[in-house]
Chain A
């Protein structure tokens, strides 16, 4: 059975599914590696957040990933403020992104709608800390098939960890199976040209065994390589045909967005090409 994952803001619903158009999760509302942005956030200046939101929305994001991981700050407070602000700027649902449990809880507590929590791993203590919050706030959750020891480099081992997460989340924490979104772990192809094959095999396994929705950090794949957009534009459609139903990606890159939309059409997720044609017409109208 193929599952569907429902996300909501106060007013808008987005559904992830294997027979639906791909879900673009805009990734740039994140200060990692951006020193000026970090400094602004430390001083309580969230104006860059508004600009990043506008850019990701204009690029075609369906959901926004919001991460406020700034060292030496109160991340929980910052994330809660950022989420309130983002919800003022847009009606898109949010993916609340932190590895700090208190920050996830702070974000969930102010969020209006049904959020996607990013993320939990197969580690028992992480599941024990995060899954009760997912349940309490009626959210969906991204789960990564790695444990305390390793990111497994064999697809079969990643699939075992997915089995473990699904079993624990549904049986011990009462999470609905369709609310588990797996991140099959997309790794940089520049470090090892076989790693994406492992990811694709994992994706096919997750789709065929569990029918779960999936997401991944699409820009990881091209890290350290030239012409990154072209690599992403090849990776995403191939991954979509292996079962990837969403990605955390930079929607400001038209080449990536166009590749995804064309793949939706090719895979039969865009009836009569209506979305493809509408996007073309919108660009014509905008004169670009």
Chain B
């Protein structure tokens, strides 16, 4: 196979969520001496972007998002250490979790897939994440953004509890806070003092990039 055929294969097979073939092609590409960055930026990321676009316009469904995400994750396991060696910086680091009292994870998982697909490093804390767990993770991983997900109107108040916990730990200014979930609105995000809100997975990626750019532009050189 030529490098172009490999890239096309990676793109097409990620799109349909064929994890074994994506992994196989990744190994083949590396054996041929292809650059891990090329695989990521010219095949995997564009493919996941297309998956997200199709999902957003209703042409793709939840299982297709999940298997595409899994296919990309398989390739990333191989590529991540190599990318780290070459000193490639991720777009940003994202700590994500569903808030305490809430066990819903499908929406959060879809957002994670899209973030990883866009080149973010995502640290997923899972569901039922207590404020102190978010604080620990922010202190340990120093992410650009921390994301709180809630599916219930009754668990949304945990956003505020999490933000207060970050404040108390002196970490609030160190990190951008994004919130989301089915019942969440921009108005609610503003009311609890979050920095950003997005209504779906693709919008989260756009918003996350925007917030990081804004923050880096403001940061003292």
Contact = CB atoms under 8 A, between A and B. Distances in A.
Interface of A: 32-33, 35, 38, 69-72, 75, 98-100, 146, 148-151, 188, 190-191, 193, 223-226
Given A69-B154, A71-B156, A224-B62, A150 B103 contact: yes
A191 B106 CA distance: 7
B188 A71 contact: yes
Contacts of B154: 69, 98-100
8 contacts: A69-B153, A71-B153, A72-B191, A150-B128, A151-B103, A188-B62, A188-B106, A191-B106
Interface string B184-203: 11011001000000000000
Contacts of A226: 61
Nearest to A150: B103
Given A70-B153, A99-B154, A190 B61 contact: yes
B87 interface: no
Nearest to A35: B185
Give chain B's interface secondary structure class. loop
B109 to A, nearest CB: 8
B61 A71 contact: no
Q: Which 10 A-B pairs have the closest CB atoms?
A: A224-B62, A190-B62, A69-B153, A99-B154, A71-B188, A191-B106, A190-B63, A151-B103, A32-B183, A33-B182
Give chain A's interface secondary structure class. loop
Contacts of A100: 154
Contact of B62 (A38, A69, A225): A225
B183 A71 contact: yes
Contacts of A72: 187-188, 191
A225 B58 CA distance: 10
Nearest to B59: A226
Contacts of B63: 190-191, 193, 224-225
Interface string B137-156: 00000000000000011101
A150 B102 CA distance: 9
Given A69-B183, A71-B156, A191-B109, 11 more contacts: A70-B153, A71-B183, A148-B101, A149-B128, A150-B103, A188-B62, A191-B62, A191-B66, A193-B63, A223-B106, A226-B61
A100 to B, nearest CB: 6
Nearest to B63: A190
Contacts of A150: 103, 128
Contact of A225 (B61, B152, B185): B61
Nearest to A34: B183
A53 B176 CA distance: 42
Contacts of A225: 61-63
Interface in B169-189: 182-185, 187-188
Contacts of A32: 153, 182-183
B62 A223 contact: yes
Nearest to B184: A71
Nearest to A33: B182
A71 B158 CA distance: 12
Contacts of B156: 71
A199 B120 CA distance: 35
Contacts of B101: 148
A199 to B, nearest CB: 15
Interface in B97-116: 101, 103, 106, 109
Given A100-B154, A148-B128, A149-B128, A33 B62 contact: no
A150 B100 CA distance: 11
